[in-house]
Amino acid sequence: MRLGFNFWLGAGLTTLVILAGILAPWIAPFDPVLDADLMNSELPPDSTFWFGTDGQGRDVYTRILYGAQISLTVGIVSQVINSIIGVTLGMTAGYWGGWWDDLVNGFTNVMLAIPPLIFALAVMAVLGPGLPSLLIALGLTNWSWTCRIARSSTLSLKSLGYVQAAQTLGYGDLRIMFTQILPNMMGPILVMATLGMGSAVLSEAALSFLGLGIQPPFPSWGSMLTDARQLIQLAPWVAIFPGLAIFLSVLGFNLLGDGLRDSLDPHMRTRTP
């Protein structure tokens, strides 16, 4: 399998975000919440505060490192929920067909017709703000495409000899789905999940920006942007660095997803004669 430059760039950016999140407690020079000092507020970047300080005098660099934890958690957990829902519905619909297929299709179409952010907003309004409800809201909104891909992959895999052979060998339906079908469609599902992580990070930022996501004083890239709104003229670094963090991590996830898609594409794989 040959992986291109984009894949490695994406993998590099993603690794950077992951390392930042994991190592934050050790590499961050300050505490993201407690080290507020109004004497130091709105300082431009210097050798002590690498990315400057915000309106309450907290180190932006520190808060971005801790914010990576939130973004990663949101990205990964919401995509795991999405993939489980999408694959379960799509695979069973494709495999069993009939009324179940019609029902799942109808449901998927309804979900696709609702703008995801509006749906997430509605869920958040019911569940209230906070990280757990954010995870649930984003986990419930983005499974439609995964479901469609799982369904169409299942339909094409179902007609292949090895799936029919498994049926004649006495395998049960669930066993066939998990041993014959699922492993052979993991490629596209993984790609969808990786691409979805990027949009989940964006959605988290948007919801936090609207005040529904992570509550202050805990740092999230989206809520940092909200705080930066009033300061953007006076202290642009307060907005620039969280924005850059969002941009680079979303770019990283998307490049990783594209790279994975290219490398998993059967047309780009060589078949030994």
Partner 1 sequence: MTDPLLEVDDLHVRFSVAGGGLLGTGRRMLHAVNGIGFSLAKGECLSIVGESGCGKSTTALSVLGLQEPTEGTIRYRGQPLTGQGAPGRMQRAKAVQMVFQDPYASLNPRQSVRTSLAAPLRLHGITAASEIADRIEVMLASVGLTPEQAKRYPHEFSGGQRQRIGIARALILEPEIVVLDEPVSALDVSIRAQIINLLLDLQEKLGLGYLMISHDLSVVEHMSDRVLVMFFGQVVEEGGWRDIFERPAHPYTRRLIAAIPDPDAALNPGTKDHFADAPLPAGRSFAFDGSTAPDIFSAPPPSELVEIAPGHRMRLVPVV
Tokens standing for 60? 């932006």
The Cα–Cα gap between 245 and 149 comes to 30
CA 255 to CA 247: how far, in whole Å?
A: 12
Span interacting with partner 1, options 110-118, 139-147, 173-181, 217-225, rule CB under 8 A: 173-181
- What six digits make up the tokens of 63? 């808060």
Out of 15, 48, 109, 179, the only residue in the binding site for partner 1 (CB under 8 A) is: 179
161 counts as binding partner 1 under rule CB under 8 A: yes
Using the rule CB under 8 A, is 165 a contact of partner 1? yes
Shortest reach from residue 112's CB to partner 1, in Å: 21
Rule CB under 8 A: say whether 172 interacts with partner 1. Answer: yes
Give the three-class secondary structure for 115. coil
Closer to partner 1 by CB, 15 or 179: give it.
179
Question: Residue with structure tokens 């009324």?
Answer: 99
Helix (H, G, I), strand (E, B) or coil at 29: coil
State the DSSP H helix or E strand holding residue 241, giving kind and residue range, or none if neither: helix 237-264
Give the nearest distance from C-beta 183 to partner 1 in angstroms.
Answer: 4
With binding defined as CB under 8 A, does residue 98 bind partner 1?
no
Residue 27: CB minimum distance to partner 1, A: 40
Cβ closest to partner 1, residue 128 vs residue 266:
266
User: Count of CB atoms within 10 A of residue 184's CB?
Assistant: 16
The correct pick among 5, 98, 170, 233 for binding partner 1 (CB under 8 A) is 170
Stretch that binds partner 1, among 15-23, 93-101, 176-184, 198-206 (CB under 8 A): 176-184
The Cα 76–Cα 135 span in angstroms is 9
Scan for tokens 């850059």, then name that residue: 244
Q: Report how far residue 55's alpha carbon sits from residue 234's, in angstroms, rounded to the nearest whole number.
A: 10
What type of residue sits at position 217?
P
Q: Which of 55, 167, 244, 264 binds partner 1 (CB under 8 A)?
A: 167
**Listed ranges 52-60, 81-89, 135-143, 177-185: which one lies at the site for partner 1 (CB under 8 A):** 177-185
Among 73, 88, 152, 184, binds partner 1 (CB under 8 A): 184
Task: Give the Cα separation of 130 and 138 in Å (integer).
Answer: 12
- Cross-strand bridge partners of residue 59: 53
Per CB under 8 A, 183 contacts partner 1? yes
Is 160 near partner 1 (CB under 8 A)? Answer: yes
Using CB under 8 A, list all residues that contact partner 1.
160-162, 164-172, 175, 179-180, 183-184, 271-273
